[in-house]
């Protein structure tokens, strides 16, 4: 990629998985695929990704197994943890551009944004995105909220108020027990509304919530300082999602 790409998993409904998707995708692309990644945590006031990074710093002191896995990763990849910038939305783009102008080599910048489009700072950041991915789930509350959010972004696009280059819906936390025609019906509705849907569907699996532990010796999937453990990748569709996103960004 010649120019850095700006990507956000974004929705106004909490619990749709945007932060988890941001972390796991950033870590997979950085530690497993060698892309230069920056994560910008603008999700005021919780700053969840920054909190995760701070927890992991403590785990490196408290958990021998976590420290060993981290050390093995560092030895194998020669990659220090990717930068996590923490700032309110109105400062985000300036911080990123300053870093790039200082010579930071960047392929993709991921933004974790507050779940609102009623904040001018958020609007300004969203309007700079090369790709906005809106996570959705087969739950009426999540679906209606996320759909309203996507339609608002689409309205900005069609009226020329936004420069977003790509807007995509993403089925997240998909329940394998749900009938496939339910998803087909929703996707037909999205198509009628002019909304594109990513082909990859992310399953509902506890692997995405598997973090480091002070007391348990276990493989880690969600982390900012190491990749998703390869023994846990099967069935998560993370690799397929990464490939699909990269193809879109390169086209």
CA dihedral (110, 114, 115, 119) positive or negative: negative
Residue 222 has pLDDT above 70, yes or no: yes
Lowest mean pLDDT among 144-158, 172-186, 231-245: 172-186
- 196 band by pLDDT with thresholds 50, 70 and 90: very high
pLDDT in tens, 97-123: 999 999 889 999 999 998 777 788 888
Residues with Cβ within 8 Å of residue 141, at least 6 apart in sequence: 13
pLDDT in tens, 151-169: 999 998 888 777 899 999 9
Cα gap 64→67, rounded to integer Å = 5
Domain 5-250 belongs in CATH node 3.90.1310.10: no
Residue 55 has pLDDT above 80, yes or no: yes
pLDDT of 228: 98
Q: Is 33 exposed, middle or buried (0-12, 13-18, 19+ CB in 10 A)?
A: middle
Walk across the sheet containing 37-41 and list its strands: 84-86, 37-41, 108-112, 5-9, 131-136, 167-171, 196-197
More confident residue, 118 or 71: 71
What is the average pLDDT value for the chain, to the nearest integer?
93
Three-class SS of the chain: CCCCEEEEECCCCCCCCHHHHHHHHHHHHHHHCCCCEEEEECCCCCCHHHHHHHHHHHHHHHCHHHHHHHHHHHHHHCCCCCCEEECCHHHHHHHHHHHHHCCCCCCEEEEECCCCCCCHHHHHHHCCCCEEEEEECCCHHHHHHHHHHHHHHHHHHHCCCCCCCCEEEEECCECCCCCHHHHHHHHHHHHHCCCEECCCCCECCHHHHCCCCCCCCCCCCCCCCCCCCHHHCCCCCHHHHHHHHHHHHHC
Residue 45: which of 17, 87, 91, 94 has the closest Cα? 87
- 22 band by pLDDT with thresholds 50, 70 and 90: very high
pLDDT of 1: 54
């Amino acid at each position: 990629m010649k120019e850095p790409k700006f990507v956000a998993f974004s929705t106004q409904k909490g619990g749709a998985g945007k932060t988890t998707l941001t972390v796991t995708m950033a870590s997979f692309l950085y530690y497993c695929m060698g892309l230069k990644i920056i994560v910008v945590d603008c999700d005021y006031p919780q700053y969840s990704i920054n909190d995760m990074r701070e927890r992991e710093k403590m785990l490196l002191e408290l958990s021998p197994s976590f420290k060993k896995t981290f050390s093995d990763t560092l030895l194998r990849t020669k990659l220090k943890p990717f930068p996590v910038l923490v700032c309110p939305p109105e400062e985000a783009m300036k911080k990123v551009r300053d870093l790039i102008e200082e010579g930071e080599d960047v392929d993709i910048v991921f933004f974790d944004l507050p779940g609102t489009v009623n904040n001018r700072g958020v609007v300004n950041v969203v309007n700079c995105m090369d790709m906005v991915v809106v996570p959705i789930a087969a739950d009426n509350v999540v679906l209606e909220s996320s759909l309203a959010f996507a339609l608002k972004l689409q309205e900005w696009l069609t009226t020329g108020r936004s420069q977003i280059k790509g807007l995509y819906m993403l089925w997240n936390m998909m329940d394998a027990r749900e009938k496939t025609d339910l998803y087909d019906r929703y996707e037909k509705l999205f198509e009628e509304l002019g909304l594109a849907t990513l082909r990859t569907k992310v399953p509902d699996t506890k692997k995405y919530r598997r973090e480091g532990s002070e007391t348990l010796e276990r493989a880690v999937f969600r982390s900012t300082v190491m990749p998703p453990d390869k023994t846990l990748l099967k069935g998560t569709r993370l690799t397929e999602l990464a490939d699909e996103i990269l193809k879109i960004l390169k086209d």
